[in-house]
Structures are given as structure tokens and as C-alpha cells.
Amino acid sequence: MNRTLQREMAKRLFDHIDAKSTDRAPAEMTLNEADYVDAAQAARERDAIRLRPSLAAASGELPAPGDFRTTWIAGVPVLVTRQEDGSVRAFRNVCRHRCATVVAAEAGNSKAFSCPYHGWTYVLDGALRVVPDGEDSFPALDPADNGLVELPVAQRHGLIWVRPTPDGPLDLAAYLGAEVDREIAELGLDDYHFLRGQTFEQPANWKLIMDGFLEVYHVRYLHPKTVGKITIGNVFIVDALGEHLRMASARKDIEKLRPDRENPAGEQPDILPGIILTYALMPTTVLVYVRDHIEVWSIQPHETDPTRCRITLRFLVPELPQTDKAKSYWERNWDTVVGAVHDEDWEMARRIQAGLDAASVNPMTLGRNELGLHHFHRHLAGMTGS
């Protein structure tokens, strides 16, 4: 990250620390409980998400030709495959015969994919190659018109993005915007390596999971023995970068990086080791830079149930571990992150979901210090027209 931006972020964070303040919205904002449980609202959100790029995989998850990854994006089953020439292609993971899911495995390597229902078989580029009893039972079928439905896909910054609607190309640079695109490049995301990933299904609306990433007001209370031990609660800077957000919170050891008051014109230390830097890429992706690794989170609504969602975490590291000591270090990191979110953040999301009442007329109130949530919910309302 360039020095000018780091100096600006450092000044704002240290000013907040000294003043015991944080970035704040002009006023509070209210939300409706029904938006987390209403089926019609959930359908509007899925429709809106399908029109935008969503994170489908890290490039490192598909290192070799024939590697594939399946996922769900706003209720659409997606298959991503690495081609023989090294490119990637994406498809609806749906057989053209009777709409069965073709590939059940989350990941693997294969030259062809056979539907388990009737054996229709597709190759890496989605083309239909085998139709059992085809000559006699499907004499009018043209295989060239019955391949898997292709979806727009793009690779950028070591990540693979898919739009689950097939119309038109995917312009990822335009989606990210110049500022986010430049800053992610400056973080060197392309040079990181995919270490591991996992998908979790939770009994909570997807917005509750996103909400947890967008403020640090809760850190002192919900995470006293985990994240709260290293993070200064309720100190946060938030900037809108086009439709997206850049957010930074301060680690408690940030004081080691405080500018020299005796020499204010001196060189500002690299602020990145003293902050947790988050990019919320609207509406379903979160990148979190945490000193020695990057967490990439994808939060997707369930295909039918507004009270459920799927969350995929991917760990990206500067270099893959080669020793038992290094492997143990990353295992502990992974366990710490997953333990904190599952037992604390997601447990709270589960409790909130259980208490929601679609008929309630009492609004939920977002404080001025929950500025990131203001942006997210206003942006989502604009996408859905609600």
C-alpha cells in the first residue's frame, strides 16, 4: 500500500485513539427485522446478486488442467474448471437433460463430468459428449446446443469471479473500480498462495454474517478472549470506494508504529502490521488483511431459505509452509479464526436469527459508529429497490 495512503490512515487512527472516538455517520439508521426472514425480500436479494460478480474460487484452488470447484452463488449451482490451456471456464452445474446437479463434489480433478441421473456426460469446456441411447431416444437432439450453460468468469488478483447470469462478459476491473483494484494490487494479492479453504452452512440470514464484518463496536464484548485481546474496540475508519468499502481497525500493538512526535516530518513506519484492513466488496465478498495472511470470505444466501446461508473462508499466505513448524503455525491460525467466528460471531448470528419476528414493528437501530453497516444496507436497498 502506498505511503501517502498509509500516512493518512495512521493519522486518522491515532487521532481516534487519542480522542477515544471513531468514524461516525451523521445520524442513526433503522432496519426492519422482516428483511432477515422475509422470503420475498430474500428472492429480491438473490436476483440482485446474480447480476453482479461473486467470488467463486481462489486461482490456487485450480492449479492444474482438469481441476474443478463447485459452489453456489445466490442459489445458482456453479462449476468452475481449469482448461488445458490454463484458462478457466464456469458453468451452471445443471444437466441439460432433466436439470440434475451434475457434479456433487466440492473439488477434484476430472476430464469429464457425468450426470448421475442418466449418464449425460460433459467435458471440461462444457460440451456434451455422451448421451446414452441417444440415437434412438433423442434423434432430434443437437449436442452442440446442449452443453452446460456457460457463465461469465474472470481471474484477477489471484481470485476467480463468476456472474451467475449468462448474458454478456464480466468486466471485473469496472466492478472493482480503479481505487480498489489499485489497492488490492498494492497489497500483492497476486503473490499470495492458497493454503486452505472450507465452506460452512449456518442457520442465519446471510446479511447477519456480513454485518459482523462491518463494525468493531462488538469486539470488546463478544470477543474478550480472542479478537478483543489484540484489537482496540470501537476505533475504526471507514471509506467508501465507489460501491465498495475500505475499513481499518487498530491492533493494540499499533502504538509501536506511532509517528515520531519530535520529528513529524520523518518517515512514517509501515502501518499495515498494526491494523486489520478490510475490503467489503459489495455485496457478498470480504477481504481481510491480517499482518501475515489474507482471509477471503464469501457469504452467499441460501437458494430458498432466508434463514440460512453459506460462508466460504479461504486462507491466502505469502508462502506455502515447508516445515512441520510452519504447518503447525498455520493450523493454529486457522483454528483460531474459525473458532472465533463459529463460536462467537456466528453463534451470535444464530441467536439473533432465532429471535427475529417478521411481524415486528420495532426497528433495529444502527448507531452512528456502525458506519460500515449503513453503507452496506443502503447499497443493498439500492440493488433490490426495497
Q: Which domains does the chain have, with CATH numbers?
A: 1-50+177-386 (3.90.380.10), 54-169 (2.102.10.10)
Determine the pLDDT at residue 386: 82
Q: What is the four-CA torsion angle of 298, 303, 304, 306, rounded to 10 degrees?
A: 10
- Cβ contact 374:25 at 8 Å: yes
Q: Cell numbers of 55, please? A: 467470488
Determine the pLDDT at residue 259: 78
Determine the pLDDT at residue 99: 98
CA distance 13 to 19: 10
Determine the pLDDT at residue 117: 98
Instruction: State the residue for C-alpha cell 431416444.
Output: 137
Determine the pLDDT at residue 260: 72
Select from 50, 141, 32, 51 the least CA-distant residue to 96: 141
Q: Which residues in 361-386 are b (16+ Cβ under 10 Å) and which e?
A: eeeeebbebbbbbbbbbebbeebbee
Partners of residue 121 on adjacent β-strands: 114, 130
Other CB atoms closer than 10 Å to residue 324's CB: what's the count?
A: 8
Which DSSP state fits 8? H
Q: What is the SS3 assignment for 39? A: helix
Angle at which helix 206-213 crosses helix 346-355, to 10 degrees, equals: 130
Determine the pLDDT at residue 1: 86
Give phi and psi for 181, each to the nearest 5. Answer: -60, -45
Q: What is the mean pLDDT of each run of 10 residues along the chain (386 residues)?
A: 91 96 98 96 98 97 98 98 98 98 98 98 98 97 98 98 94 96 96 98 98 97 95 96 97 89 66 96 97 97 97 98 98 96 98 92 95 98 94
The most distant pair of C-alpha atoms in the chain lies apart, rounded to whole Å, by: 87
